[in-house]
Amino acid sequence: MSASGLDARYGRTPERRRRGRVLAVAAIVVGAVLLAAWAVWTGLLSPQASLEANAGGDRILSDHEVELRLEVTATPGNAVVCALAAQSEKHAVVGWKVVRLEPSEEYHRVVVERFLTSEPAVVALIDECRLA
pLDDT tens readout for residues 19-28: 889 999 999 9
pLDDT tens-digit series, residues 34-48: 999 888 877 766 567
Total residue count of the chain as it appears in this document: 132
Q: Which CATH number does 51-131 carry?
A: 2.60.40
CA atoms within 13 A on the CB side of 91: 0
**What's the whole-number average pLDDT of the chain?**
89
Output the pTM of the full model.
Answer: 0.63
Q: Which sign, positive or negative, has the C-alpha torsion 12, 17, 18, 22?
A: positive
pLDDT tens-digit series, residues 57-111: 999 999 999 999 999 999 898 899 999 999 999 999 999 999 999 999 999 999 9
Q: Under 8 Å CB-to-CB from 130, ≥6 apart: which residues?
A: 51, 80, 81, 82
